[in-house]
Amino acid sequence: MDNLTLKQLRYFDALVQQRHFGRAAEVCAISQPALSMQIKEMEAALGSALFERTPRNLGLTPFGETVVERARDILRSVDELTDLARSQQSKLSGKLRLGVIPTIAPYLLPKVIGALTQSYDGLDIHIRETMTPKLLQELADGKIDAALLALPVGETSFAEVPLFEENFVLVRPAADAQLPPPDAKGLAAMRLLLLEEGHCFRDQALSFCTGPSVRPWEGLDGTSLSTLVQMVGAGIGVTLIPQMAVDVETRSAPVAISALDGAQPSRQIGMIWRKTSPLAEQLNDVAHLVQQAASSLAQP
- Per-domain boundaries in the chain: 6-85, 89-164+268-297, 166-266
Amino acid at 119: S
The tens digit of pLDDT for each residue in 260-281 reads 988 888 999 999 999 988 888 8
CATH number of 166-266: 3.40.190.10
With left for phi above 0 and alpha for psi between -120 and 50, is residue 19 left, alpha or beta?
A: left
What number of H helices and E strands is found in the chain? 11, 11
CATH (residue range 6-85): 1.10.10.10
Note the pLDDT tens digit of each residue in 173-218. 999 999 999 988 888 888 888 888 777 888 887 777 654 444 555 5
pLDDT, position 78: 80
For residue 14, which amino acid is it?
Answer: A
CB 92 within 8 A of CB 124: no
- pTM, whole model, 2 decimals? 0.73
Q: What pLDDT is stored for residue 246 in this prediction? A: 94
Beta carbons within 10 angstroms of residue 88's beta carbon: 7
The confidence score (pLDDT) of residue 83 equals 67
Same fold, 6-85 and 89-164+268-297: no
CATH class of the structural domain 89-164+268-297: alpha beta
What are the pLDDT digits (tens) for 212-265? 444 555 556 677 899 999 999 999 889 999 999 999 999 989 999 999 988 888
CB 229 within 8 A of CB 255: yes
